[in-house]
């Protein structure tokens, strides 16, 4: 016990020296993570965060502030952090607002340490209107009346107030009621997996209602997957933040990636039509992401063993060097080694890298579930039980389990069988109708385009149903290629009838390109003799031998504007009428709305 106490004293002494050097030499780096305005798909501002020396134990902000707290230097480190963040934000000329983390204890100090922070703001050339004071809940005690007066004082100076981690602590709702912030950040616990958890969904929906009534705007923290992004967007959450947009960086991007922009501008209907998620053939590894706190390469086996002991749900722990994964330690390996005689004594203080699998399965979050499934089937079985590491452009972001992969694949298959057309694999009438209704409820404009094959029945009669199926599959493929995945919805009504709900602005060009491709590929499915005649002879519905031209495609398009249609029934009727008009013109034809032919091919 004496030796253990001495070791701890020595470790605390080392940390005290490290912290003192960090403060004296200002060895801290500001990093910034964007806060995204969901409505117009732009960066609204950045949260300013801090990192310690990259090669030391105080690199993470948690370790840094824990060390400061033990040495009663929390406020000193907080002020240093704030000055470095403000200076870096101004030097980088980042757009929008800067969200500054401020503890209630620091805020309640008179004048923010006699106006020191205000002096930094003035020197940086920033205005208070661009600064949001983001209150954390790590206060020794909260005197709400004093805190309310303090926030009112800073508001009068031009600052805005945000409240961090709503839902994490028991006093957060009380703080919201007392200080009436301009922004409230929903804790990431309620965002991660929100697309699969109705309780989380309802919690965030309720927070949104309260915020609307109190004049407050909601920021969803911890958005890490596209599914979470779509779910929060569809709930009407004003702002989002998380790894799915960007990791905290010292030189952050000031524009969103095109894929994020397209997702935010689209309306997928995931909340009202959860099966659409499973029909999505390109569902990715990001849907399986769960954050597991990694071990660093300098961690000991004893420290990793302690993590397994305290969390029985852990099946594996990733090992990282910096933020890059280098290995994976399984519970079975660790416990098996420590269960041996003198195992803990022999290996406990040695590096955890000696027990890790140095060749784990590592996949990027963008990898499709189908590709991941195929990859695992070609590997050793233990990868399915140990799980796999998920990265974002090489940076560790979490773990996935074989159990979750199997569950997701199974659910996709079950739902696809229920709702998809068995021939084309495209969504059938139920998801089509639900998607139309959701678009109407969302109040967005779109074009409903009804696609119908001309002269398909005589072709099917002459060449047989197998060749007919090839034409159906050809049409489905061309429709999917013509649609913009993040915005447009492709459905198979049945037989040779399809529909595309276009939200992409260049929908007309996409239809024209599709018609041109169809005009080239359709004749390939005829033999040479029929191609020479540009068609076939077959009996019509009255039994008369009639000449039928090569199969063509007719498109009836209707612009759907908010307030003009009440249900999918009305949209279907309008699109059907437009399709009938298109079929009056021979050849590959696009007809828009009320007798306005746009192209013939």
Q: How far apart are the first and last CA of the chain?
A: 88
Phi and psi, residue 156, nearest 5°: -65, -20
What is the rounded average pLDDT for all residues in the chain? 85
Nearest to 560, CA basis, from 491, 511, 503: 503
d(CA 255, CA 249): 14
Nearest to 568, CA basis, from 399, 440, 407: 440
Out of 387, 408, 429, pick the residue that ends a domain.
408
At residue 417, the pLDDT reads 65
DSSP letter string, 504-540: STTHHHHHHHHHHHHHHHGGGGS-HHHHHHTEEEEE-
Nearest to 135, CA basis, from 160, 165, 101: 101
> Does residue 447 lie in a domain region?
yes
> Does residue 444 lie in a domain region?
yes
Nearest to 416, CA basis, from 223, 231, 283, 586: 283
> Does residue 92 lie in a domain region?
yes
Q: Do 252 and 328 belong together in one domain?
A: no
Q: Do 239 and 326 belong together in one domain?
A: no
Q: Do 305 and 221 belong together in one domain?
A: no
User: By the 8 A CB rule, do 183 and 216 touch?
Assistant: yes
State the DSSP H helix or E strand holding residue 93, giving kind and residue range, or none if neither: none
> Does residue 68 lie in a domain region?
yes
Q: For 420-434, what is each residue's pLDDT tens digit?
A: 788 898 989 888 998
The CATH number of whichever domain residue 470 belongs to comes to 3.30.70.270
> Does residue 272 lie in a domain region?
no
> Does residue 273 lie in a domain region?
no
Cα–Cα separations (whole angstroms), residue 505 to 508, 515, 529, 546, 591: 8, 18, 41, 41, 17
Q: Do 302 and 328 belong together in one domain?
A: yes
Q: Do 195 and 54 belong together in one domain?
A: yes
Q: Do 248 and 292 belong together in one domain?
A: no
Nearest to 58, CA basis, from 73, 42, 47: 73
User: Which residues, in sequence order, are bridge partners of residue 492?
Assistant: 498
Phi and psi, residue 566, nearest 5°: -100, -20
> CA 184 from chain center: how many Å?
20
d(CA 458, CA 531): 15
Out of 408, 429, 456, pick the residue that ends a domain.
408
At residue 206, the pLDDT reads 87
Q: Do 112 and 225 belong together in one domain?
A: yes
Q: Which two tokens stand for residue 362?
A: 């590592």
Q: Do 190 and 324 belong together in one domain?
A: no
User: By the 8 A CB rule, do 416 and 370 touch?
Assistant: no
Residues of the chain with pLDDT under 70: 1-13, 109-117, 137-142, 167-171, 266-282, 414-418, 486, 594-601
Q: Do 428 and 404 belong together in one domain?
A: no
At residue 531, the pLDDT reads 93
Q: Do 74 and 222 belong together in one domain?
A: yes
Q: Is the pTM of this model over 0.85?
A: no
User: Regarding beta strands 589-592 and 388-392, do their DSSP bridges make them parallel or antiparallel, or are they unpaired?
Assistant: unpaired
Residue 255: count other Cβ atoms within 10 Å of its Cβ: 12
> Does residue 497 lie in a domain region?
yes
Q: Do 353 and 252 belong together in one domain?
A: no
User: By the 8 A CB rule, do 32 and 240 touch?
Assistant: no
For the chain, count helices (H), then strands (E).
23, 22
Out of 408, 432, 458, pick the residue that ends a domain.
408
> Does residue 283 lie in a domain region?
no
The CATH number of whichever domain residue 123 belongs to comes to 3.20.20.450
Q: Do 310 and 172 belong together in one domain?
A: no
Domain extent at residue 344:
288-408
User: By the 8 A CB rule, do 179 and 148 touch?
Assistant: yes
DSSP letter string, 488-506: -EEEEEETTEEEEEE-STT
Q: Total structural domains in the chain?
A: 3
The CATH number of whichever domain residue 358 belongs to comes to 3.10.580.10
User: Regarding beta strands 545-549 and 183-186, do their DSSP bridges make them parallel or antiparallel, or are they unpaired?
Assistant: unpaired
């Amino acid at each position: 016990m004496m030796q253990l106490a001495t070791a701890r004293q020595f470790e605390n002494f080392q940390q005290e020296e490290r912290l003192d050097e960090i403060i004296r030499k200002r060895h801290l780096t500001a990093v910034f993570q964007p806060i995204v305005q969901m409505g117009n798909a732009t960066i609204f501002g950045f949260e300013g965060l801090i990192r310690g020396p990259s090669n030391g134990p105080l690199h993470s902000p948690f370790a840094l502030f824990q060390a400061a707290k033990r040495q009663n230097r929390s406020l000193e480190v907080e002020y240093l952090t704030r000055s470095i963040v403000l200076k870096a934000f101004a030097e980088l000329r980042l757009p929008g607002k800067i969200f500054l983390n401020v503890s209630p204890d620091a805020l309640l100090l008179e004048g923010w340490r006699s106006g020191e922070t205000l002096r930094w703001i003035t020197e940086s050339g920033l205005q208070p209107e661009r600064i949001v004071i983001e209150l954390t809940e790590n206060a020794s005690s909260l005197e709400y009346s004093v805190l309310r007066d303090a926030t009112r004082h800073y508001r009068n100076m031009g600052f805005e107030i945000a409240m961090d981690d709503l839902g994490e602590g028991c006093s957060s709702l009380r703080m919201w009621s007392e200080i009436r912030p301009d922004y409230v950040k929903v804790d990431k616990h309620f965002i991660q997996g929100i697309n699969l958890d109705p309780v989380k969904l309802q919690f965030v929906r309720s927070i949104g209602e309260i915020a609307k009534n109190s004049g407050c705007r909601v920021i969803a923290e911890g958005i890490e997957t596209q599914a979470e992004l779509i779910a929060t967007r569809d709930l009407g959450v004003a702002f989002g933040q998380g790894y799915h947009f960007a990791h905290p960086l010292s030189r952050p991007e000031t524009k969103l990636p095109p894929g994020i922009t397209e997702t935010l501008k689209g309306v997928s209907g995931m909340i009202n039509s959860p099966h659409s998620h499973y029909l999505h053939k390109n569902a990715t590894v990001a849907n399986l992401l769960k954050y597991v706190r990694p071990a660093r390469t300098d961690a000991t086996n004893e420290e990793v063993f302690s993590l397994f002991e305290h969390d029985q749900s852990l099946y594996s722990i990733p090992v990282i060097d910096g933020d890059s994964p280098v290995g994976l330690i399984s519970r079975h390996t660790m416990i098996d080694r420590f269960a041996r005689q003198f195992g803990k004594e022999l290996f406990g203080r040695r590096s955890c890298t000696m027990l890790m699998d140095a060749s784990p399965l590592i996949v990027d979050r963008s990898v499709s579930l189908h590709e991941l499934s195929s990859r695992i089937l070609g590997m050793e079985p233990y990868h399915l039980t140990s799980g796999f590491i998920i990265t974002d452009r090489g940076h560790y972001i979490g773990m996935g389990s074989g159990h979750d992969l199997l569950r997701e694949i199974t659910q996709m298959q079950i739902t696809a069988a229920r709702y998809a057309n068995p021939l084309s694999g495209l969504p059938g009438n139920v998801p089509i109708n639900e998607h139309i209704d959701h678009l109407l409820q969302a109040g967005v404009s779109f074009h409903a385009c009804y696609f119908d094959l001309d002269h398909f029945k005589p072709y099917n009669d002459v060449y047989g149903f197998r060749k007919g199926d090839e034409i159906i599959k050809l049409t489905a493929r061309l429709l999917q290629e013509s649609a913009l995945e993040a915005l447009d919805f492709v459905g198979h009504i049945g037989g040779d009838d399809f529909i595309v709900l276009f939200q992409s602005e260049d929908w007309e060009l996409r239809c024209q390109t599709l018609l041109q491709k169809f005009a080239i590929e359709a004749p390939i499915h005829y033999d040479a003799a029929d191609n020479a005649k540009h068609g076939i002879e077959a009996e019509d519905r009255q039994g008369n031998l009639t000449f039928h031209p090569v199969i063509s495609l007719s498109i009836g398009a209707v612009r759907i504007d908010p307030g003009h249609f009440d249900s999918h029934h009305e949209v279907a009727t309008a699109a059907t009428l437009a399709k009938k008009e298109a079929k009056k013109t021979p050849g590959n034809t696009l007809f828009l709305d009320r007798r306005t032919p746009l192209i013939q091919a």
